[in-house]
Amino acid sequence: MNSLIIFILPTLINIAWAFNANPDEIFNLPGLPEPVKFRQYSGYLNATKGRHHFYWYFEAEKDPETAPVVLWLNGGPMCSSILGMFTENGPYTVDSNGTKLIMNKYSWNKVVNIIYIESPAGVGFSYDENDPEPLNDNNHTAAANYFALESFFDKYPHLKKNAFYITGESYGGVYVPMLANEIFARKSSINLQGIAIGNGKYDFNLYDYTDQPTLSEYEFALGHGLISPHFYQQKIESCCSIDQDNMWKCDFLNPVNKTKCDSVKKEPVDVINRYNLYDNCPLEIVPVNNTDLFGLYNPYDPSNNLIKLPQNIDKPAYCAHSGHKEYMNRADVRKALHVRNDAPKWWDFKGNKDYAIDMRNGSLTFVDLIEKYRIAKILVYNGDFDSVCDFVTDARFVEGLGYKYTEEYRPWTVDGKQGGVEGGFVQHYEKGLSFLTVRGSGHMVPTDKPEAALQILKALIGYAKL
């Protein structure tokens, strides 16, 4: 009898394991140099009707059952979040040939369960059943992201009790807070605790449509030596006025004396990489069919810009190449990731010709999160070398929300210790709002300053203090 029990018990365990096995789990990922210390999953999430978002989920290396859950969204619009996984904060980077994966010691899944979702439909391996070139906008994307998240937690119900955070960068300044509002407005049981956005784009107005620089952009350019103090002073005196608080009030689109304002001009400065002024290597992202990169705030259009990219620049031989695009288009990789058989070629940036960008006041979304929904934490951070979404503009955006300081603007360190390596500067406000700069970083903070970015994540989830 005992021998029969011994024989049956393992069989029952195996049957139970097979019944509960997740078909999205990745078991044999090509190019891994060593067995990993975490489980990973990929596949499709159901979004709005007929739409399916591709995702890649990594369990935390420690205590995944209780660790916070973090969503990462790249911007664009129409950039793949898998790009961010490979080049910013995921467990792996890829060698130049797309053959080998290299472990990232600053991966965010060192401390959290992290999800990368390709959004909206049409990006990466995400798709619409009824339209190979689906149209997207901000509201539809927020709704689709919400339903994709609910689909994720349906697959992983044990995680729904865990603290949840939304993070992203660039056009994530639209994606992230709008998704957060969607979660609260729908009274979801998702345990959303906070959001963090790096080098975000929050507002869209006539300045974006005309590529006319703002006062913040002139000040950023002056601070980095891209324009002279003499030109700056001339421009301000010709285009701006002093208001009652002795502050410059500038309307460069409709100045008091347009002729005088327009007469003060200069040729844009050539910069190899607008996303990091001090990088001698150009940005590697190439849109599908060479459509404009990052839409209305387009660094390739020199019409009114203070800064532009030089024409016909050759990539220097010393500039590293990431083979993530080659890797994601390998047949064995697509099979391992459970990509559908008829999926098109994978691109890191689709191009945004099918994305409608509306004029918007992003501060309204933030104020709703803070006042209406009482979100616990909002963290806005900026690499100080980025000219596309510069830190002066974003600092003024946060300041304009109207909340009081809780302490003075001060340095923060990457290890949280006094006298440690300086990460940048931070300004804390009431109601869980913070703004910080990341010293020496461009647009993609986790790429340029990975240790600092990991510390920012820890601060968001309450594991560290800035």
Q: Determine how β-strand 113-117 pairs with β-strand 69-73.
A: parallel
170 annotated active-site: yes
358 annotated active-site: no
Of the residues 170, 387, 434, 441, only one is catalytic, namely 170
Of the residues 386, 390, 394, 448, only one is catalytic, namely 386
* 156: exposed, middle or buried (Cβ count in 10 Å: 0-12, 13-18, 19+): middle
- Between CA 260 and CA 279 the distance in angstroms is 36
- Between CA 175 and CA 54 the distance in angstroms is 17
SS (H, E, C) the chain: CHHHHHHHHHHHHHHHHHHHCCCCECCCCCCCCCCCCCCEEEEEEECCCCEEEEEEEECCCCCCCCCCEEEEECCCCCECHHHHHHHHHCCEEECCCCCCEEECCCCHHHCCEEEEECCCCCCCCCEECCECCCCEEHHHHHHHHHHHHHHHHHHCHHHCCCCEEEEEECCHHHHHHHHHHHHHHCCCCCCEEEEEEECCCCCECHHHHHCCCCHHHHHHHHHCCCCCHHHHHHHHHHHEEECCCCCEEECCCCCCCHHHHHCCCCCCEECCCCCCCCCCCCCCCCCHHHCCCCCCCCCCCCCCCCEECCCCCCCCCCCCCCCHHHHHCCHHHHHHCCCCCCCCCCCCECCCCCEECCCECHHHHHHHHHHHCCCCEEEEEEECCCCCCCHHHHHHHHHCCCCCECCCCEEEECCCCCCCCEEEEEEEEHHHEEEEEECCCCCCHHHHCHHHHHHHHHHHHCCCCC
Cα-only R_g, the chain: 23
386 annotated active-site: yes
pLDDT at 28: 92
pLDDT at 9: 43
Tally of residues, the chain: 466
pLDDT at 21: 83
In order along its 466 residues, the chain shows pLDDT tens digits of 454 444 444 444 333 333 468 999 999 999 998 889 999 999 999 999 999 999 999 999 999 999 999 999 999 899 999 999 999 999 999 999 999 999 999 999 999 999 999 999 999 999 999 999 999 999 999 999 999 999 999 999 999 999 999 999 999 999 999 999 999 999 999 999 999 999 999 998 888 877 788 999 999 999 999 999 999 999 999 999 876 665 668 888 888 899 999 899 888 888 889 999 999 998 887 665 555 544 444 444 445 678 887 766 677 888 989 999 999 999 999 999 999 999 999 999 988 788 998 888 999 999 999 999 999 999 999 999 999 999 999 999 999 999 999 999 999 999 988 889 999 999 999 999 999 999 999 999 999 999 999 999 999 999 999 9
Q: What is the largest CA-CA distance in the chain?
A: 100
Structure tokens of 428?
A: 């804390």
The residue among 7, 291, 23 whose CA lies nearest residue 156 is 23
Structure tokens of 376?
A: 């616990």
pTM across the whole model: 0.92
Distances (CA, A) of 11 to 23, 25, 409, 434: 20, 22, 63, 54
